[in-house]
Chain A
Amino acid sequence: MLEQAFQGTKRYWTLVGFWVLVIVAGTAAFSHQLIKGLTVTGMSRDVAWGLYISQFTFLVGVAASAVMVVLPYYLHNYKKFGRMVILGEFLAVSAVVMCALFIFVDLGQPRRVLNVLLYPTLNSVMFWDSVVLMGYLVLNLVIGFVTFDAERKGAPPSTWIKPLIYLSIPWAISIHTVTAFLYSGLAARPFWMTAILAPRFLASAFASGPSLLIILALILRKYTRFDPGKEAIQKLGTIVAYAMVVNLFFVLVELFTALYSDLPHHMHHFEYLFMGLHGKSTLAPWMWVSGLLTVAAVVLLVIPKVRKQENLLAIICLAVIVSIWIEKGMGLIVTGFIPSPLGGITEYTPTGPEITITIGVYGIGFLILTLLYKIVVSVREKTEQIR
């Protein structure tokens, strides 16, 4: 099965080569960061976390969203997802790997990363987050390969995998919940200290993850002989529609509480995010774009006629991904630090090396995804020829 990743068309190798180039650039930038320290990034005394931790947060969502195909298929026996499930699980695998790497490149002393396991600290949410993320990676790798291997052989998967599949469902919820707890338990940061952070994370994850899956499925159908199925894509579209509506609702609930209560220390963060404070407003235009895309996506998604046209659906999905990426991958983490506990307003802009490292980590993720999807596509193409 694995050998399928080592044989392919010129187009496949070009894609692999492209990711490798991206990774090489990222690695070079990372060595620069290793030598100079995190001073090469845009982070500062006031804004202690930036692009890396933001990408981590966004990608935990992508990883968790695999549950949106696993749950209907295994719990509700929704057969149409039969060809989609493995794509979701392998997307989760590559997303979790990227999450781990984003934490790694963010550390001041990356060589000491194993201290988290050597001195396990039960009262630190970060310890639990690394436990649930690693567990989720193992679960998806095992479940993905075992079920896919069985499918290849035309036999039902071994029975011992069933409990693991059921376990993976609450586990997916847990990874994004624990990730939200990283932030929402900090009294020092009123912007994050809200009980709705975890539900919001899950809603935006269940919108952005399946959107990405739809786009990947459409790409696979266009460039390979593997078709995940029109109905499966439509069902994912419905899931994105619901999740996006719930996401918008949660955001509005959050905004109401913050703005109507008028508590200055909570409000300031929202003011910075949408209007800017003391003339500093780098994030504001981005957030308005994100907001407009969210509203547009919700309006278009709830109209079945629009959603059912695959070309339009693809564009809407792109809008969903961009909107949630801006919200989680740019705004959410940084704004928790602005203003600082001492009232300082220090803005944050990522630097060249920081962006290169970030793209490099995405390169690793997409390389893994390319290899895994190649295996899936080649095996499926073969088995379908035989049948």
Chain B
Amino acid sequence: MDESRRDFLKKFGFALLSVGGGFPLLRTIASASEKELRTGAAVSTQWGMVIDIQKCLSEQVRRACIEACNREHNVPEIPDPEEEVKWIWSETYEDAFPEGIHPYTADYLKGKPVLVLCNHCTNPPCVKVCPTQATWKREEDGIVMMDMHRCIGCRYCIAGCPYGARSFNWRDPRPYIKGDLTPFPTRAKGVVEKCNFCAERLRKGQEPACVAAVKNIPGMEGALTFGDLYDPNSEVSRVLRENHTICRKVSLGTGPNVFYIV
């Protein structure tokens, strides 16, 4: 190969590399600074939830929540506990609140089931670690969203979440979906998923499926309360003002937006 051709190829390769490598990076930097400007304006909404632990001791309530969610989002029911996909489920009080127990914890809490789900944190560690922005905190309403089409399945977010709120599709979930499919898109194997606070229902002005399911059970009003934490007149804000509530692992600074009445 003569020198000038070699030289040209070298330069061309370098130009190609810098364009290919540089543009996405520039775009990210640009959008990062843009984001800063936009968050400067107050976020108008932060969806949040209050769970009344005592009311949710009712097996019927918990089952209604979990089944409504699974149906709404086509969550598979995989028998192997090591590969389960869970959006909202029950854990014992001590596993949900490892810092809230001691040897003399009252019997009405010790070993009792508590509903847990994604906390839609104010400062979500899962969002921080994601290498592809497949999960992000939605600016208009604070929901921690998930793009299952962008997720590469590295499971860094699972390592980063202190609540175990994220599930990975170890296998194709579709054969394990019970009953007829609902409109919510089913997932492929190899991606991470989790509770989305029913973003698809909120868009239509409906409450999350779990909250709606409980409303139909007589005497269980207020087992789950959902609403805008930034609106002082919302039901959820009233419940938070009037009750002593706790959240999971506050000391980690993640700022959970799911609260519990003990």
Contact = CB atoms under 8 A, between A and B. Distances in A.
Nearest to A108: B153
B143 interface: no
Contacts of A123: 128
B171 A187 contact: no
Contacts of A194: none
A112 B131 CA distance: 12
Interface string B60-104: 000000000000000000000111100000010011101000000
Contact of B164 (A117, A336, A340): A340
B164 A342 contact: yes
A214 B155 CA distance: 36
Interface string A132-150: 0000000000000000000
B132 A121 contact: yes
Contacts of A187: 125, 162, 252-254
Contact of A121 (B28, B158, B253): B28
Interface string A19-41: 00000000000000000111100
A107 interface: yes
B184 interface: no
A110 B152 CA distance: 7
B98 to A, nearest CB: 6
Contact of A109 (B28, B98, B163, B191): B191
A113 B28 contact: no
A292 to B, nearest CB: 30
Of the listed residues A103, A120, A189, A337, the one surrounded by the most CB atoms of chain B closer than 10 A to its CB is A120
B168 A38 contact: yes
Given A120-B28, A343-B98, A37 B133 contact: no
A120 B125 CA distance: 18
A341 B161 contact: yes
Interface string B239-262: 000000000000011100000000
Nearest to A115: B132
Interface stretch (A6-14, A44-52, A73-81): A44-52
B168 A127 contact: no
A312 to B, nearest CB: 41
A265 interface: yes
A309 to B, nearest CB: 44
A314 to B, nearest CB: 37
Nearest to B249: A341
Contacts of B154: 103, 106-108, 126
B231 interface: no
A48 to B, nearest CB: 4
B82 A346 contact: yes
Nearest to B128: A123
Given A36-B171, A44-B82, A265 B155 contact: no
B172 interface: yes
A355 B150 CA distance: 28
A386 interface: no
Interface in A167-213: 182-183, 185-189
Nearest to B31: A119
B159 A336 contact: yes
B130 A342 contact: no
Contacts of B219: none
B152 A109 contact: yes
A271 B133 CA distance: 36
A252 interface: no
Given A38-B170, A117-B24, A341-B164, A126 B91 contact: no
B190 interface: yes
A45 B167 contact: yes
A155 interface: no
* A103, A188, A265 interface centre (most CB from chain B within 10 Å): A188
Contacts of A43: 170
A302 interface: no
Interface string A343-372: 110100000000000000000000000000
Q: Which of B129, B152, B158, B161 lies at the interface centre, i.e. has the most chain A CB atoms within 10 A of its CB?
A: B152
B191 A124 contact: no
A122 B28 contact: yes
Contacts of B16: none
A204 to B, nearest CB: 21
B83 A45 contact: yes
B162 A107 contact: no
B162 A113 contact: no
Contacts of B252: 187-188
Interface in B31-82: 32, 81-82
A109 B83 contact: no
B190 A107 contact: yes
A115 B150 CA distance: 7
10 closest Cβ pairs, A-B complex: A108-B153, A108-B190, A44-B82, A188-B162, A37-B189, A126-B131, A39-B171, A124-B131, A39-B170, A115-B132
Given A48-B168, A342-B164, 20 more contacts: A38-B168, A43-B170, A45-B170, A48-B158, A107-B153, A108-B151, A108-B155, A112-B151, A115-B132, A116-B152, A118-B132, A119-B150, A122-B32, A126-B156, A187-B253, A188-B159, A188-B160, A341-B162, A342-B96, A344-B164
Interface of B: 21, 24-25, 28-29, 32, 81-84, 91, 94-96, 98, 125, 128-134, 150-156, 158-164, 167-172, 188-192, 252-254
Interface of A: 36-39, 43-46, 48-49, 103, 106-110, 112-113, 115-127, 130, 182-183, 185-189, 265, 336-337, 340-344, 346
